[in-house]
Structure formats: C-alpha cells, structure tokens
Amino acid sequence: MNINSEELEIMTQFVHGLCINDGREFSNWGLSRSTHPAVYVEPISYADVQAIVRNTAQFPTPVRPIGSMLSVTETVSNDGGTLLCTRKLDAILGLEVDGCGRQVVRVQAGCRLKKLNVWLQQQGWEIPFQAEIGEATVGSVTVGDTKESSLDGPGYFSSHVVAVLYINEYGNLRILSDQQDGAAFYEFKCSFGLSGIVVECLIEVRPASLCRANVALYAYQSPQALAEGILQLREQCDALLAVVILHQLFCFAEQRYQAGAGNMTPDSSQPHCEQYRLAKRLAIQHGFDGGDLPRPQGIVFSRSDFVNEYWRPVETENRLDFQYYEHDIGMLERVISESYRFTKSFEHDTGFVPTGWATYFVHRPEKERKPFGIYSGGSGISCSFDPLYSNPNDPLWQRFAKEYNRVAIDQLRGNPSPIQTQWLQPGDICIPRKLARERFTTPYYEQFLM
Ligand SMILES: Cc1cc2nc3c(=O)[nH]c(=O)nc-3n(C[C@H](O)[C@H](O)[C@H](O)COP(=O)(O)OP(=O)(O)OC[C@H]3O[C@@H](n4cnc5c(N)ncnc54)[C@H](O)[C@@H]3O)c2cc1C
C-alpha cells in the first residue's frame, strides 16, 4: 500500500484516547481551582501524546499535562488550552538493571504512587520517598516539587528518578538520563512540565525495609522551646514528621527509625498500625479538623502501607489545603517564632487559626543535581513549616495564606513552590525561561519566567 505524505500526516495526527471539547469545567481535588480548557484529552499511547502536541489546530496551545489534579495552585489551570490527562498511561513495565548496575523500575507517567508502592512491595523493593499521598502521579512528581521525611533518603521524589522519556514541543519522543545527559537531565526535572510531557520514567529502587515509629504529643512553653524541642526530637531518630498546633504550642511528632529488612508489616504491630494508619489518613483527608489521633509506641511497619488513597471530596466536606515553604534548618527557630507572632496577631484580629503546621526535613543534594527551585541551595538540610487548613475556600484561610506569604517569603526568605504554594506573585519564584517551551507554557507559568 502506498501512503503519500499528506495521508501520513493525517495518520500521525489521529488520537485514539478520549477527547472532550464541550467547554466543561475541570477542578482540582480540593475544589478550589477550576478551569475550562478548549479540549480535555486522555491519551492511551505515546503516539497519542505525540499527535496531540503536533496538532495545534485541534489541540490549542498551551498543552498542560495533568495527573490526578491534586495540586492546590493554578498549576493545573488552562482556560482555552488543552488539558492532557495521563491517567490511562499508568503501566508498571517492570524491574531492570540499568547500564550502571542500578536496580530500577520502569513505569509510565500516569501511574499513581500507591499503585507503584504496592507493586514494588510485592516484589520486595521500595523507593525511599514514601509520602502519605498515594494519588499523586509519577510524571507530576518527577518534574514537580515534593516533600516528606524519608528514612535514609533525600525526601523528594525526583531525586530517585534516573531517566525520563518525554514528548518534546515538536511531538518527538526523547530520552534524558543522569548518565548520558547530566545537566540537561537535572534541569528537566525542575521544569514542571514546561520542557515536555513525561510519559515514562526509570526510578532507582532498593530492597524493602521496615520502619519503627514512636508517636507522641508534646507541649511547650514558648515558640523558642517548641523549635528546640522539634530539633531534639529529630536528633533522636532517623526521620521526623511533626505536625504543630502553633497557637497552642503543641507538637504531634512521629519519630521514625530504620528497623531492618522486610516488606510486610509484622502481625505483632497489629491492630495498632492499622488503627493509626486509618486515623492519620482521615485526619489528612479532612485537613486535621480536630479529633484525637492514636499515639502508638514502637510499632513496626512497611512504610508502603502508609502511602494512602484519598477520596475526592464534595464541596460541603472538610478537606486538606496547605501552603508550602522551604527553609534551611538553621532558620527553624526564627521561622517558628515569627510564624507564632503572625498567627497570634491574626487570631486576635479575626479569630482564625490554621488547623496545623506540617514540618518535614529534606536532605538537599549538591547544586548540580537540583539546579533550580526548592532544594537548590546546595548540600544541606531543609525544613518546611507549612500551614494547613480544612477548607480551601474559606475566605479567612485564604487571607491568612496570602498575608503569611509575605512573612514566609519576604521576611524569612523561604522558597515557595508553584505547585504547593498558593497566591504567589511574580517575583516570588523565578523559573529560568530556557526551561519553558511556548507549546507548554500557560499564563500561570509565564508570570514566573525569568
Ligand atoms: C490530600 C493531599 C495530600 C498531599 N500530601 C503530600 C505530601 O505528603 N507530600 C507532597 O510532596 N505533596 C503532597 N500533596 C501534593 C501533591 O502530591 C502534589 O501536588 C502532586 O504534584 C500531585 O500529583 P498529581 O498527579 O495530582 O499532579 P497534578 O496536580 O495533576 O499536576 C501537578 C503538576 O505536574 C505537572 N505534570 C503532571 N503530569 C505531568 C507529566 N506527565 N509530565 C510533565 N508534567 C506533568 C502538571 O502540569 C502540574 O504542573 C498532597 C496533596 C493532597 C491533596
């Protein structure tokens, strides 16, 4: 059969996945951001993604990839453009040993972290990044910002990604890896989807390990004592997650310790583990809106079990919302003191306080491995101090978050994230223009390009 070039062009523009172009609205998980793309599309093959990127007439610029739309900011907004959802590209393609002898898992971009964790756990492997959020997709967290207090790991997902396959602005499939491409690869991982659409990743894994945890609630007399207490709790263990009730100077602390090899939560830790997991999941789902959490001591578990699924809430339901800021650990006392002062003054004026403040600790790599954005300050330890609330659309929470941005960013020099920090202004973050292709750049991102 002879195919002329015009017919070939038509064939490569054909998209098999679902396409919706009736002007309907799409919202994020928290129902705080909504967008009306001209086209919403769910590719079912890499060829589909290529055809979408190439066909500017049917799929208007900009093309914005999305995963589960969990993000709290306008990063998922794309009015009049093309929203490309990767949820159907979610296969786990298998374990392999890469050219440097590393054990890696090959996985498609739309795979959710819970699915990946369960699959790896069954094979006796794990990725050290095991944040509570199981619905986030691999593609999103490969090029976006994440945080968690990992056991023996940096604490952000993209650090474990050693190669990416992506579709560039011309619709071509490209591969970048740490071994072959060095700087270009590390820059791509800071690109938020502006340099291309990730379709597949190679992620380094290690033998599955167990975690032992002590959970407790501590009360302090002053913000300084609270900061010192958090640092001491961190020193005593291998990784600390703290949720602070700042206006009352309470700290809910989960101290994590390495507990040797293993992929299954031992029966001896049940039912305490499962009770704690379910209570914690509900607290996160509802934005820590009250209720007592169990405080188990000495439970041993597979951290994969604590990567949770969260249901899509309805408008009337309490649901998590948050703001993220990265600080150097040396700033923690000042961050807590000034945040306390601001919070008390806001409470005095309005009666409003956030439901909690999440504190994670992340190990920053050398600058070359994380050239831009959060964790790009060179080797060291970062902490976050992130206000949380249970209703993203509450006007007082929104006012608190906007005013606190000025404290955290201007006064405390904290680094925000375009995915995890809301109400940012131009200048709050700088994304190098060289990372952004016009085909993938929405107005939200345009304002941060330098
Ligand atoms: C209940 C809840 C709990 C959370 N807990 C945590 C936590 O513990 N730790 C943490 O770090 N975060 C947490 N988050 C935030 C969440 O993990 C991030 O926002 C994450 O990026 C969301 O993944 P997603 O698949 O929904 O991405 P989306 O929100 O759909 O997209 C996020 C960004 O990634 C880009 N993107 C998506 N797919 C691709 C792709 N294939 N190629 C290129 N770019 C792409 C999008 O364009 C967008 O800019 C939580 C959020 C919620 C709602």
Q: How far is the CA of 69 from the centre of ligand 1 (A)?
A: 7
User: Residue 166 CA: which ligand 1 atom is closest?
Assistant: 42
Residue 319's pLDDT is what? 98
CA atoms within 13 A on the CB side of 295: 10
Residue 7's pLDDT is what? 54
Mutate to test the pocket of ligand 1, among 140, 282, 446 (most ligand atoms within 8 A of CB): 140
What backbone torsions phi and psi does residue 364 show, to the nearest 5 degrees?
-80, 140
Residue 246 lies in a domain: yes
Residue 381 lies in a domain: yes
Same domain, 190 and 247: no
Same domain, 214 and 258: yes
Residue 141 lies in a domain: yes
Same domain, 281 and 326: yes
Residue 278 lies in a domain: yes
Q: Residue with the nearest Cα to atom 31 of ligand 1?
A: 66
Residue with tokens 């007082």: 396
User: Residue 70 CA: which ligand 1 atom is closest?
Assistant: 26
Residue 346 lies in a domain: yes
* C-alpha angle 41-65-435 in degrees, rounded to nearest 5: 145
Q: Residue with the nearest Cα to atom 28 of ligand 1?
A: 69
Q: How far is the CA of 206 from the centre of ligand 1 (A)?
A: 23
Q: How far is the CA of 400 from the centre of ligand 1 (A)?
A: 23
Residue 292's pLDDT is what? 86
Same domain, 69 and 125: no
Q: How far is the CA of 9 from the centre of ligand 1 (A)?
A: 34
Q: What residues form DSSP beta bridges with 209?
A: 261
Find the CATH number of the domain harbouring 59. 3.30.43.10
Q: What are the tokens at 410?
A: 């201007």
Same domain, 126 and 272: no
Residues in the chain with pLDDT < 50?
Answer: 1
Query: Residues near ligand 1 with C-beta < 6 Å?
Result: 29, 64-71, 75-76, 86, 109, 131-133, 136-137, 139-141, 143-144, 146-148, 192-193, 197-198, 284, 310, 320, 419-420
Q: How far is the CA of 66 from the centre of ligand 1 (A)?
A: 8
Residue 262 lies in a domain: yes
Same domain, 104 and 76: no
User: Residue 138 CA: which ligand 1 atom is closest?
Assistant: 25
Closest CA to 121 of 113, 133, 109: 113
Residue 437 lies in a domain: no
Contacts of the segment 102-107: beta carbons below 8 A, 24+ positions apart: 102/162, 102/204, 103/204, 103/205, 103/206, 104/162, 104/163, 104/202, 104/203, 104/204, 104/205, 105/202, 105/203, 105/205, 106/200, 106/201, 106/202, 107/138, 107/200, 107/201, 107/203
Same domain, 142 and 41: no
Q: What are the tokens at 394?
A: 């509450």
Q: What are the tokens at 311?
A: 């249901």
Instruction: Say if residues 250 and 233 touch (Cβ distance below 8 Å).
Output: no
Same domain, 80 and 110: no
pTM of the predicted structure, to 2 decimals: 0.96
293 is in which domain, residue-wise? 209-411
Residue 441's pLDDT is what? 98
Same domain, 31 and 137: no
Residue 3's pLDDT is what? 55
User: Residue 319 CA: which ligand 1 atom is closest?
Assistant: 1
Same domain, 330 and 263: yes
How many domains, the chain? 3
Residue 293 lies in a domain: yes
Sheet strands (E) in 103-224? 103-108, 125-126, 161-167, 173-177, 197-204, 206-207, 209-219
Same domain, 28 and 110: no
Q: What are the tokens at 210?
A: 């167990």
d(CA 419, CA 211): 29
d(CA 353, CA 396): 9
Q: What residues form DSSP beta bridges with 358?
A: 243, 386
Residue 326's pLDDT is what? 98
Q: How far is the CA of 208 from the centre of ligand 1 (A)?
A: 24
